[in-house]
Amino acid sequence: MERSSSAQLLWKLKRGGCSIGEVPVRHLPRRFGAQIGGSVKVILKAVKELFVLLFKRSE
């Protein structure tokens, strides 16, 4: 089974003709752990995935 990033999955779904939309989500307070979505490491990983995806797409 191929492992895909979120960006790759979205691109493949869009290319396959799937429509992508938004749905409301109710967020509950965090009971344990700490937020990581806004960390520099997570943001840099997302940017790297985007560039890899764009490079593969141009091949």
Q: Domain map of the chain by residue range?
A: 1-15+37-59
Per-residue pLDDT, averaged over 30-55, amounts to 83
> Any idea how long the chain is?
59
DSSP-assigned states of every residue in 4-59:
--HHHHHHHHHHTT--------PPPPP-SS---TTSHHHHHHHHHHHHHHHHHHH-
pLDDT band of residue 55 (cuts 50, 70, 90) is confident
pLDDT band of residue 1 (cuts 50, 70, 90) is very low
Across the chain, what does the average pLDDT equal?
A: 81
Q: Which helix (H) or strand (E) holds 8?
A: helix 6-15
**pTM for the full predicted model:** 0.42
The CA distance from 30 to 24, in Å, is 18
